[in-house]
A and B are shown apart, each in its own frame.
Chain A
């Protein structure tokens, strides 16, 4: 069964301390790799979609990259408002469903 594995499960950073979140995916035919941000009690908020290995996308302090079996979400100089759970999801070419990982809970302390 296709799986998505995210690491670490939880990450605590000081404000300004850059780091990366990892997402490993298993689907052989990747239609898209999605990153979402989710605040407590809210629905996931779309961040990025990556389609092919080598692709990179940026938004403010976030940059997402994609390799053949992994994606990374790099957070540069994070602020407390970046605290949230970050979810990644794979979408295979044979369908449109998203398969999510369990997320990385990020806490940024001031």
Chain B
């Protein structure tokens, strides 16, 4: 049973560019959350998607947007990249009836 799958694993982008990260949730899960983890810090909540809608959002600018597809997979888009956007981006999936979260291995984004 595959867990949470994220792609790509690593990515290097230039300031001002746009990036799209992808996440496939664990089988049976219908909710996807995205987190940003800077080096040496704990993960910070970006937003959560359920039933293809954004349900909760953390303190991130509108440059961060997302989408959830009918098969529950999700994308995170970041526009106008800044150096400070360099981080590990984690996807976590869950089922609305279950309180636990399963994390993927993340996408390491480096902005130069």
Residues of A near any B CB (own CB < 8 A):
4, 31-32, 34, 36, 41-46, 49, 87, 89, 91, 95-103
- For this complex, 30 residue pairs linking A to B, each with C-beta atoms less than 8 Å apart, are A32-B99, A41-B88, A41-B105, A41-B108, A42-B106, A43-B4, A43-B90, A43-B105, A43-B106, A44-B43, A45-B103, A46-B101, A46-B102, A46-B103, A49-B100, A87-B43, A89-B42, A89-B43, A91-B99, A95-B56, A96-B48, A97-B45, A97-B56, A97-B58, A98-B45, A98-B92, A100-B35, A101-B42, A103-B41, A103-B42
Q: Which residues of chain B from 49 to 79 have a CB within 8 Å of any chain A CB?
A: 55-56, 58
Given A46-B102, A98-B35; 16 other pairs, CB 8 A cutoff: A42-B106, A43-B4, A43-B90, A43-B106, A44-B103, A49-B99, A87-B43, A89-B42, A96-B31, A97-B33, A97-B56, A98-B33, A98-B43, A102-B40, A102-B41, A102-B42
Q: Is the CB of B106 within 8 A of A99?
A: no
Task: Provide the bound-state CA to CA distance between A44 and B43, in Å.
Answer: 9
> How many A-B contacts at CB < 8 Å in the complex?
61
- Chain A residues near B25: list those with CB within 8 A: none
Q: Is the interface of B mostly helix, strand, loop or mixed?
A: strand
On chain B, the number of residues with a Cβ less than 8 Å from chain A's Cβ atoms is: 27
- Chain B residues near A42: list those with CB within 8 A: 105-106
